[in-house]
Amino acid sequence: MADQFSEIPESFWGLFRSRNRQIYIDALLQVNEEYQYSNYYLSREICVQTLSDYFARRKVTLEQEDTEDDSDLSEPLSARILNWLLRTGWLRKVEDYGTMTVYIVIPDYAAVFVDAFAILAGEGEDETQVYIQNVYGILYAFRNDPRSNISLLKSALVNTRRLNKTLQDMLHNMDKFFTALLEQQDYGDLLQEHLDGYVEEIVRKKYHILKTSDNFYLYKADIKKWLGEMRQDYPWLLQVCERNRKLRGLEIRAEELENQLDMIERGFDDIEHRIMNMDREHTRYIRATVTRLNYLLNKEDNMKGLVIQLLNHLSGARTKEDQDRETERVSALMNLSRMEIISEKSLYKRRRPKQDFAESLALEEETEELSGEEILRLNRIRNRYSRKQIEAFILEKMKDGHLEVTEDTIDSPEDFEKLVLAYDNSVRKDSPYRVREQDTEAIDNGRYRYPALVFEQKKPKQ
């Protein structure tokens, strides 16, 4: 890395200080696209033609740089941009004396920045999808390929950490969407901001890929199963160590491989934890959006909306004297002494008018009881299984009077319903067991999601 920094010319950083930096960045992205299409060989003529075609569809004004003279200003726009990028080191000329041709190439250090520009521009495949597929493919090859070595395992760990960082960046950038909610003062503008901003950037590009298409959960079960099998297969770990010693001359212990597998598994646990946090932030944002939309839609008719307008009006005063003067003027026009203006909860609640005794009896007589069919319909789930069946479902799975609910406990809709009913049955005094809830994350076996519960059989009373 230090050698690459030494190769960067000082003029290279001028792009970030230039007033034309967005034009140069767009030009670099176009050159890079044509660069890959042309098998990484570009002549100057092709570069000029590519930039001419791109900027002909856009109206841009290129301001004069400090390093440009009058001869540079007389050049066409595409040629000026290409000359500046060559002069500052973002592009480089390479002469092929065999064909007597001068090629335009992107230096290694500049390619790193161009890739970053492409990511910021939203180009390419989504990172979350690429990384999870990489981990899946690498672990499959490490488990089944007889030529695999520990470098594959390290690559899987790197990709797991990158996916964790991508999710954490998504989570940390949620605050900008909450800020945008408060900046919009019109119902239509807020709705457009929500659809074009949050839905487009988070839901469709990132959140949708993580949740709706089940990208992560599509590979999670297989990856966790492979990690457990590899960690428990100690003879196979010794074979991998021996293979590394023969093929690469590296002495590796089985404990080192187990440590790498443990770190990958912990990384996947962190991914699940961050996805849960994204779920919570997503729910908060949707709730805040609906609240803000309701406020903007009804602020003229809603008491809260009017109070907020009043407070915003008072806070807009420049000085303390102006604020006091405006408060006195408002108080002379409005009755601010009623508690309902400040809070929905009034200090004094009006009593309901007394009803005549006969009228109250008539109201009671008019109340109709539920029919037998309605009662059966409301309790159809409870009546689906007898209490004996529910208790047998738990007691048969117990070992030494103890059952810890895991991912393998539930594998059908009937088991899931029995687990819910067994939890409800545990609060009865005559229940043969009690439930203790663990302070861990909820269990997700790919089909169902439920809390981590521990069923303990009650001791018979003496």
Residue-wise pLDDT for 35-45, tens only, equals: 877 766 788 88
> Is residue 90 over pLDDT 90?
yes
pLDDT at residue 203, rounded to an integer:
61
Return the DSSP state at 446.
Answer: S
- Whole-number pLDDT of residue 303: 57
Tokens of 429: 């005094």
Residue 254: pLDDT band by 50, 70, 90 thresholds? confident
Stretch 74-93: mean pLDDT: 90
Most confident by average pLDDT, 68-72, 159-163, 228-232 = 228-232
Alpha-carbon torsion, ordered 11, 16, 22, 28, to 10 deg: 50
* Pairwise CA distance, residues 80 & 129, whole Å: 39
Chain-wide mean pLDDT for the chain? 76
Confidence (pLDDT) at 85: 92
Rounded to whole angstroms, the Cα distance separating 13 from 6 reads 13
pLDDT for the residue numbered 339? 47
> What does the angle CA 371 – CA 374 – CA 377 come to, to the nearest 5 degrees?
150
92, pLDDT greater than 80: yes
**Cβ atoms of 457 and 432 closer than 8 Å:** yes
Lowest model confidence (mean pLDDT) among 125-129, 152-156, 233-237, 322-326: 125-129
Question: b/e map of 128-150 (b: 16 or more CB within 10 Å)?
Answer: bbebbebbbebbbebbeeeebbb
Give the separation between CA 121 and CA 205, rounded to whole angstroms.
13
pLDDT value at residue 273: 84
Please check the confidence at residue 308 and state whether its pLDDT lies above 50. yes
130-151, pLDDT tens digit by residue? 677 888 888 888 888 887 778 8
The Cβ of residue 442 has, within 10 Å, a number of other Cβ atoms equal to: 10
Over residues 262-276, the mean pLDDT reads 86
Q: Residue 394: is its pLDDT beyond 60? A: yes
- In this predicted model, which residue has the larger pLDDT, 255 or 310? 255
Quick one: average pLDDT of 16-45?
86
As a whole number of angstroms, the distance between CA 56 and CA 46 comes to 15
Q: Is the pLDDT of residue 64 over 90?
A: no
In angstroms, the CA 111 to CA 91 distance is 9
pLDDT band at 348 (very low <50, low <70, confident <90, very high): very low
Q: What is the pLDDT of residue 346?
A: 46
pTM of the model: 0.46
Q: Residue range 291-311: average pLDDT?
A: 64
pLDDT of residue 130: 61
d(CA 289, CA 178): 8
Lowest mean pLDDT across 38-42, 258-262, 321-325, 350-354:
350-354
Summarize the confidence of residues 432-457 as an average pLDDT. Answer: 82
